[in-house]
């Protein structure tokens, strides 16, 4: 989808001048960017650049000292994480946050909790009220997600017994179960082998293109970022140093310096002659 069409469809997320500090450590310094509805937007940068801190500011886990986070045009800077989830912001985590003692199915059902409309009385009168019908409807939606992410064979397995790659997939399923308009993915492919990465990249693209979810993703695998992202933003020491199309960003001198530790001048310098130091 081209940039003009995305712009016409409207903006879903606007981060304006966000700064965040922990004591004397400045995690983010006046960072701002905008994400169009339907976009797959990647945030990259070296370790400690402030990427996860930015996702935490968007999801509500952290409250910035200054700046604004707007979702669908509304200021959500001071809303709780639960409130943000309820209005359509989903999230996965760099470190797995599954309930290891629960089944895969039950873990994903947890992601539907804010969509439940049954009150205490209808819950008590489960078989007579609407709670049973509501649960069955949510189950159907969850089964669709399970089919989509190809985890039917482990749907009744205890989450803690699964391989790392499958647990990452279950966590994605739980975030998708929120039915978010915007999903935040914190290193969804970290620790995966090549085959698992290829599968996860396909799921993310399908969520974006077929399920209509806007994606903001942190990812260290530059091959994946280049292949699937519409636009990329680069953070370094808490500051934004570049934003744009993937190829443009990766050719940016400051980005090359941040990732490779070299400048274009250094690259252009001639090799010393043999014996010369």
Q: What is the tens place of the pLDDT at every residue in 111-147?
A: 776 555 544 444 444 445 555 555 666 678 889 999 9
* 190 pLDDT above the threshold of 50: yes
Output the 3-class SS for the chain: CCHHHHHHHCEEEEEEEEEEEECCEEEEEEEEEEEECCCEEEEECCCCCCHHHHHHHHHCCCCCCEEEEEECCEECCCCCHHHHHHCCEEECCCCCCCCCCCEHHHHHHHCCHHHCCCCHHHHHCCCCCCHHHHHHHHHHHHHHHHHHCCCHHHCCCEHHHCCHHHHHHHHHHHHHHCCCCEEEEECCCCCCCHHHHHHHHHHHHHHHHCCCCEEEEECCCHHHHHHHCCEEEEEECCEEEEEECHHHHHCCHHHHHHHHCCCHHHHHCCCCCCCCC
d(CA 247, CA 28): 25
Given this model, what pLDDT does residue 94 score?
Answer: 72
**Cα–Cα–Cα angle for 193, 195, 200, rounded to 5 degrees:** 95
Query: How high does pLDDT run on average in the chain?
Result: 84
Q: Measured in whole angstroms, how far is the alpha carbon of residue 143 from the centre of its chain?
A: 22
* 48 pLDDT above the threshold of 70: yes
pLDDT digits (tens, 9 = 90+) for 12-45: 999 999 999 998 899 999 999 999 999 999 999 9
Q: Which of 64, 114, 109 is nearest to 89 (CA)?
A: 114
Domain ranges of the chain: 1-88+180-189+217-272
Contact (Cβ atoms closer than 8 angstroms) between residue 62 and residue 31: no
Q: Which CATH superfamily is domain 1-88+180-189+217-272 in?
A: P-loop containing nucleotide triphosphate hydrolases (3.40.50.300)
pLDDT digits (tens, 9 = 90+) for 204-260: 999 999 999 999 999 989 899 999 999 999 999 999 999 999 999 988 898 888 776
pLDDT higher at 6 or 133: 133
* 54 pLDDT above the threshold of 90: yes
Which position has the token pair 């995305």?
A: 6
Which pTM was predicted? 0.83
Q: Determine the straight-line distance between the first and last CA of the chain, rounded to whole angstroms.
A: 52
């Amino acid at each position: 989808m081209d940039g003009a069409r995305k712009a016409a469809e409207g903006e879903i997320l606007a981060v304006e001048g966000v700064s965040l500090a922990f004591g004397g450590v400045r995690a983010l310094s006046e960072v701002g960017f905008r994400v169009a509805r339907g976009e797959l937007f990647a945030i990259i940068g070296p370790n400690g650049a402030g990427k996860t801190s930015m996702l935490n500011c968007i999801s509500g886990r952290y409250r910035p000292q200054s700046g604004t986070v707007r979702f669908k045009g509304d200021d959500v800077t001071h809303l709780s994480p639960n409130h943000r989830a309820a209005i359509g912001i989903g999230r996965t985590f760099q470190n797995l946050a599954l309930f290891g003692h629960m089944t895969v199915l039950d873990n994903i059902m947890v992601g539907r909790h804010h969509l439940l409309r049954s009150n205490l009385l209808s819950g008590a009168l489960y078989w007579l009220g609407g709670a049973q019908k509501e649960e069955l409807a949510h189950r159907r939606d969850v089964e669709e997600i399970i089919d989509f992410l190809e985890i039917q064979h482990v749907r009744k397995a205890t989450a803690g017994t699964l391989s790392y790659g499958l647990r990452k997939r279950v966590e994605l399923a739980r975030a998708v179960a929120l039915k978010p308009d915007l999903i935040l993915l914190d290193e969804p492919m970290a620790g995966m082998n090549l085959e698992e990465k290829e599968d996860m990249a396909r799921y993310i693209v399908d969520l974006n293109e077929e399920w209509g979810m806007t994606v903001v993703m942190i990812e260290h695998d530059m091959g994946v970022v280049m292949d699937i992202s519409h636009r990329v933003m680069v953070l370094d020491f808490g500051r934004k140093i570049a934003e744009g199309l993937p190829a443009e960003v990766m050719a940016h001198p400051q980005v090359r310096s941040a990732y490779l530790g070299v400048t274009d001048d250094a690259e252009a310098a001639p090799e010393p002659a043999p014996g010369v130091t």
